[in-house]
């Protein structure tokens, strides 16, 4: 059966939806959780994205794009109190940097409004760390976590919007935590990265796996029982920009979890898809053929 098509369970994807504004004047719809929801939908899954936009033109563009992609809009709230999120993206030595504004619509997700939308226990909740920087979104995410069987936290440390201790509290008790080497070294003590991973399991009680990405060097998945799989990143011959590669990687890891793929298969497919996204400007594509090409060969 096809791996992505086998996912009948509906994950909850919570957090920021925003526009990445590039120095050349282009505005690309994004935000890590929104990118994950978009990728999942285009890869054949049926996620419910939960977030908020402003009552402005950009907010309407978000809704229009979601409808076009077949994403359920019932979890998208509209607030009069803040604008649809925007981030200025700059590429410095090939790596993206972000100027993230305060008090955006994604900070204003209301838990009360979710009760009519999330009526059943979800198989998995995915969220990052940025949209939990303030209330009421933090409480809304907590409400969703209480209605989810498993929780996947994608750490995205974006200065000045975090404190290490707060992020450690945020990931406490999560089933899966994804982070990169710099984030691991900031959040966990140890003499080397292996000991930091082991310490993170114990310090914050991660239940299943730590997923550690290393950019062009690849990634590794460390499990609670001491197992580990690792693989290098595929070569990207037609690199456009790396924005969204981590979100692409997370999307396929979620597919693997929900589909019951082995960790080595999940890692291989996640790295492949992340490399494909590096050939785009921005994190996602509206081209269904792009995703169909990624799915090719995912027969299990």
User: Considering the domain boundaries, does residue 296 fall inside one?
Assistant: no
Domain count across the chain: 1
Residue 265's nearest CA partner among 275, 255, 274 is 255
User: Considering the domain boundaries, does residue 127 fall inside one?
Assistant: yes
For residue 146, which phi and psi values (nearest 5 degrees)?
-70, -10
- pLDDT, tens digit, 9 for 90 and up, residues 68-81: 999 999 999 999 99
- pLDDT, tens digit, 9 for 90 and up, residues 77-123: 999 999 999 888 777 776 767 788 889 999 999 999 999 999 889 99
User: Considering the domain boundaries, does residue 6 fall inside one?
Assistant: no
User: Considering the domain boundaries, does residue 1 fall inside one?
Assistant: no
User: Considering the domain boundaries, does residue 79 fall inside one?
Assistant: yes
pTM of the model: 0.92
- pLDDT, tens digit, 9 for 90 and up, residues 167-179: 999 999 999 999 9
Q: Read off the CATH number of the domain in which 284 is found.
A: 3.40.1190.20
User: Considering the domain boundaries, does residue 3 fall inside one?
Assistant: no
- Rounded to the nearest 10°, the torsion over CA 105, 252, 12, 224 is -110
Residue 190's nearest CA partner among 175, 170, 207, 212 is 212
User: Considering the domain boundaries, does residue 298 fall inside one?
Assistant: no
Q: Residue 192 is part of which domain span?
A: 12-290
Peptide bond just before 160 cis, omega within 30 deg: yes
For position 92, what pLDDT does the model report?
Answer: 76
Q: Report the half-sphere exposure of 267 (CA within 13 A, side-chain side).
A: 22
User: Considering the domain boundaries, does residue 63 fall inside one?
Assistant: yes
Q: Mind spelling out the 3-state secondary structure of 212-250?
A: EECHHHCEEEEECCCCEEEECCCCCCCCCCCCCHHHHHH
Which residues does residue 219 pair with via DSSP β-bridges, in sequence order? 213, 231
């Amino acid at each position: 059966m096809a791996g992505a098509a086998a996912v009948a369970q509906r994950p909850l994807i919570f957090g920021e939806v925003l526009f990445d504004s590039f120095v050349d004047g282009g505005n690309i719809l994004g935000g890590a959780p929104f990118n994950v929801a978009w990728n999942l939908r285009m890869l054949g899954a049926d996620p419910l994205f939960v977030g908020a936009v402003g009552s402005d033109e950009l907010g309407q563009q978000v809704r229009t794009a979601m409808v076009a992609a077949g994403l359920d809009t019932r979890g998208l709230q509209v607030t009069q109190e803040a604008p649809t999120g925007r981030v200025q993206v700059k590429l410095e030595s090939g790596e993206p940097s972000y100027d993230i504004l305060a008090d955006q619509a994604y900070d204003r997700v209301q838990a009360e409004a979710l009760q009519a939308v999330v009526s059943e226990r979800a198989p998995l909740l995915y969220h990052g760390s940025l949209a939990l920087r303030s209330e009421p979104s933090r409480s809304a995410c907590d409400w969703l976590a209480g209605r989810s069987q498993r929780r996947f936290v994608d750490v995205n440390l974006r200065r000045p919007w975090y404190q290490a201790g707060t992020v450690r509290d945020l990931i406490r008790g999560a089933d899966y935590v994804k982070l990169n080497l710099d984030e691991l070294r900031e959040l966990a003590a140890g003499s080397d990265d292996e000991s930091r991973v082991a310490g993170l399991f114990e310090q914050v009680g991660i239940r299943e796996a730590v997923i550690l990405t290393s950019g062009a060097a690849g990634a590794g998945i460390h499990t609670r029982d001491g197992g580990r799989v690792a693989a290098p990143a595929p070569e990207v011959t037609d690199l456009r920009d790396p924005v969204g590669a981590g979100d692409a990687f997370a999307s396929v890891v979620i597919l693997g979890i929900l589909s019951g793929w082995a960790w080595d298969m999940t890692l291989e497919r996640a790295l492949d898809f992340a490399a494909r996204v590096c050939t785009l400007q921005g994190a996602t594509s509206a081209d269904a053929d792009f995703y169909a090409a990624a799915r090719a060969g995912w027969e299990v």
